[in-house]
Amino acid sequence: MEQPKRVSADQFGETVQADASRSDPSSILDRVARRIAAALAHPRMPIAVAILATITMMPALTGGWQMDDYFQRVTLLGYGDTRPIQVFEPYLDRAHNLSQMEFGSMPWWGSPDMHQAFLRYTSVLTMMLDYRLWPNHPALMHLHSLLWLFAAVLAAALLYREVLGATWIAGLAALMYALDGAHAVPAEYLANRNALIACCFGFLSLLTFVRWRKHGRPRDQWLSVLMLALSLSAYEMGVATAAYLFSYALIVDRDGIRERFVRLIPHGAVLAAWALIYKLGNFGSHGSGFYVDPLHNPVGFASLFCRRAAFLLMGQWTPVPAEMSMAYAPGSSAALHLSIFSFAIVALLVFLFIPLVLRDRLARFWGLGALLSLLPIAAVGPENRVLGFVGLGSIALLAQLTQFVFASSYTSPAARAWKGFAWTATLLLLLIHLIAAPFLGIARISYQADVNSRMARAMASVPSDPRLASQDLVLINPPDQIYLVAAIWAVHRLENLPIPRRIRALSSGGELEVTRVGPKSLRVRFPDGFFPTEFSRYMRSPSEPFSAGQHFELPGFLVVVESLDAQGDPDQVLYEFPLPLEDPLLRSMIWRDGAYVPWTPPAIGETQRLYPERGIF
């Protein structure tokens, strides 16, 4: 493709004026363009966009406590079996897991050796501060989160200005990042504030590093190292800071390759120390089908990375959120179509950005940084709420593409054909990231609030009479183990309600065929598979297969896996209780129309078919 005759980004104002001189000087369009360019390049633009981002996310103040917040609240108030500093360490060891399985907050199919412990102590300290100052006022906790959003967006805007210069391109990038809908969940979901904290410190690390390289102040280098450490200690996605530092040294710095990376030795030492602490402190995740730790299971992570990365890029660049990838059953036609769509989006993005990336080293820096940022966040199911670092580079690329497309001239037919596509694609992306993005963010806040109201309705449907304390709560078809089963203990504890003696969940969602085979036993078949969605595998990794005839024995509960499906998951399971199913010490319930309702077991020999029901999502 012929290289376009490009107008320098730094000369945009002159370009506009030159164009205006060839047209009507009184043209309204020309005056508007000059004023917009001047506003975007204004020195106060970073603070303006940080304020705009905070105002846009103000509806988050009414979010209350949601989902994981209940579990973390129990720990932070000292009601749980772990210390407040261990908020992000829900599954510690085999003994801890077995005790949860005996009670039922962890299901019988969960892996006893499942481990989840995350090194996020900087974020935990901010949560402990909330619970010291205003433990019963979630609005003030959300305001605290919005302050972190303000700081993160301000740091991003200053970074754009430092790298791209005091130009309208830097201002446009800052504006789009401020309006990015990916900020919605971290702003409203207290358990996800860690993403804002990691981004804030990560962006400050990059900003001070770039300033050190430009102005030579040694203190900036050490500030950059400190900010990297704080980002890593806030959330694992802070590793993406190192991705941008590496990209800057590789692509933007002009010295010899050895000198470029020697400068990063202090940052490398911090990263190595963090990794060593992570390893020696037994942090990380294994035994889950939802989290895949790249350090513990590199092969499993590699097999998932491309698919998850495509979904994450889909969520970054289109109005379709990455979470959609978890809405469909693995292997279903809907899941296949969404995968094809996500890879098609990636292919179109590559075609769109290749001319810019080949020509502009800053574009290569942003692009490589964004791609490397996918590595730490692909360890968990794809969600827009973890796109803070990916968005940093992606939006800078879009701002540069805007100048590249609209301020360049082309002569060859192939180049003109590409420009026709690029014009259309750029306008569409600008509409998405400038006009639609804030509305998508507000819609996401509304959706999150709706999820929380559905969870509250579900918890309210759980019996709360005093008899519950002496009963086993048997849940036949809960669509969600985490937020509709395990949360029962947390919510009842926080509200001082009776807690079941034990909880027994018989399935992880999907369609069931329930047959009464005896006074004390049920046989359950799973026509759609035992794990109908990716999220339903949260408690057990696919690398831990079941076996036909396998027994699981818990207090007052015996489970026999009678047969397996083609994936090696339970196809038919026998559940045996020590008491007749009608005994008042067993309280059986099914999930129907968004709530738990009492369930009457069928007569011996009869079968009931229970169809999939929507959970809280």
Q: Does one domain contain both 68 and 208? A: yes
Q: Which residues pair with 91 in a beta bridge?
A: 116
State the average pLDDT for the chain: 90
Contact criterion met (CB below 8 Å) for 532 and 510: yes
In which residue are the tokens 């190192």 written?
242
Specify burial of residue 303 (Cβ count, 10 A radius: 0-12, 13-18, 19+).
exposed
Domain carrying residue 16: 5-77+135-441
Domain identity same for 359 and 482: no
The pTM assigned to this predicted structure is 0.90
Question: CB under 8 Å to 207, separation ≥6 — which residues?
Answer: 155, 158, 159, 162
Residue 96 placed within a domain: no
Same domain, 437 and 473: no
Number of domains in the chain: 2
Task: Indicate the residue among 406, 441, 476 that finishes a domain.
Answer: 441
Of 403, 424, 441, the residue that ends a domain is 441
- Answer yes or no: do 187 and 258 share one domain: yes
**Binned average pLDDT, 10 residues per bin, the chain of 617 residues:** 44 46 59 85 95 96 94 92 88 90 94 92 96 96 97 98 95 97 94 97 98 91 97 96 96 88 94 94 87 75 87 96 85 88 96 94 96 92 94 97 80 72 93 95 93 95 95 95 94 95 93 95 94 87 90 94 92 96 96 95 94 89
Any domain includes 119: no
Phi and psi torsions of 170, nearest 5° = -60, -40
For 571-612, write each residue's pLDDT tens digit.
Answer: 999 999 999 999 999 999 999 999 999 999 999 999 999 999
Is 298 inside a domain boundary? yes
DSSP state letter for 256:
-
268 located within any domain: yes
Same domain (yes/no): 412, 526: no
Query: Do 434 and 505 reside in the same domain of the chain?
Result: no
AA letter at 491: V
Which of 382, 406, 441 is where one domain is finished?
Answer: 441
What is residue 206's predicted lDDT score, i.e. its pLDDT? Answer: 98
Amino acid 21: pLDDT = 47
The answer to whether 159 and 206 have CB atoms below 8 angstroms apart is yes
How far apart CA 515 and CA 509 sit, in angstroms, is 17
Residue 292, phi-psi category: left (phi > 0), alpha (psi -120 to 50), beta (remainder)? beta
Amino acid at 275: A
- What are the distances in angstroms from CA 598 to CA 135, 358, 389, 497, 612? 35, 64, 47, 19, 17
Residues 374 and 514 both lie in one domain: no
Examine the domain organization and report whether 148 and 293 are in the same domain: yes
Specify whether 261 is located in the same domain as 389: yes
Strands (E), 124-227: none
Q: In angstroms, rounded to a whole number, what is the distance separating the alpha carbons of residues 137 and 120? A: 23
Task: Give CB contacts under 8 A, 24+ apart, made by 47-50.
Answer: 47/154, 47/157, 49/153, 49/154, 49/157, 49/174, 49/175, 49/177, 49/178, 50/150, 50/151, 50/153, 50/154, 50/157, 50/178
Domain contains 323: yes
- One domain for residues 405 and 267: yes
Domain membership flag for residue 114: no
What amino acid occupies position 120? R
Rounded distance, CA 498 to CA 18, Å?
Answer: 76
126: in domain: no
Q: For residue 159, tell me if it sits in a domain.
A: yes
| Residues 328 and 287 placed together within one structural domain of the fold | yes
Query: How many other C-beta atoms lie within 10 A of the C-beta of residue 220?
Result: 18
Structure tokens at 494: 């926080």
Residues 366-419: tens digit of each pLDDT: 999 999 999 999 988 899 999 999 999 999 999 999 999 887 666 566 677 788
Both 168 and 246 in one domain: the answer is: yes
